[in-house]
Amino acid sequence: MTKQMNKRKKQRTDNRSRMITVGIIVVGALLVAFALISPNVKPGTGVVLPEQVKRPAGDGLTLGDVTAPARIEVFEDFQCPSCIRYSNEIEPLILEELVETGKAYYIFHNYAFIDTNSAAKESQGAANASLCANEQGKFWEYHDVLFANWNGENQGAFAANHLVEFADALKLNVEDFQACVDENRYAAEVQASFENGVAMGVNGTPSVFVNGVIIAPGYIPSFEEITAAVEAAQP
């Protein structure tokens, strides 16, 4: 009997030790995950703040030297997952290798179309908000925050209250930004940008043009394809 009691006691001790060990491992994993994620999350908001990107000098929605021989124009919808990929993987190379070097001038155009059949109008709202941020000299920072916080087409990521939270996370003047969003101040400009895209032949995003010629229509153009077009425009 004593033998059996000792055996059970040992089993309970072993089980407790295993549970403690598993608990330590789980807590450790959670702490590591939190350490990796927390530097990019604005405390108390849940807003993801991406690392700041170094970009060439510019003016508003444009970057680089306006007299550069090549003119790169990109049309994007902030709800477009392919635009996120382009922005994260291809655009940085373009800015570093082609714009910073003076070979190309870079222009961003809003092409808000994904919300066409949605009452929420999140594409148009995000486009307008990006121009509200531009009023305070933060278009590109807001551009990055929009892409970093997207979570699906017309799923509420770009509801008006979230757009204001993004501005607050970037330390913009929230009162001025809120007024701009509430009155949809740049609705006409967003629509004009869309119509300009249609006239140029845009039928999806991202669409990239070099000196007015679309590169790889219907696909995300590669850095090599864009570079070839830019190099062909050099004197």
Report which secondary-structure segment, H or E, holds 91: helix 91-94
The per-residue pLDDT for range 28-77, each reduced to its tens digit, is 444 444 444 444 665 556 899 998 889 999 999 999 999 999 999 999 99
Q: What is the DSSP letter of 120?
A: S
The whole-model pTM stands at 0.81
pLDDT value at residue 42: 56
The per-residue pLDDT for range 126-167, each reduced to its tens digit, is 999 999 999 999 999 999 999 999 999 999 999 999 999 999
The per-residue pLDDT for range 111-131, each reduced to its tens digit, is 999 999 999 999 999 999 999
Is the predicted pLDDT of residue 106 greater than 80, yes or no? Answer: yes
Query: Which stretches of 55-140 are assigned E, i.e. beta strand?
Result: 58-59, 62-63, 70-76, 104-110
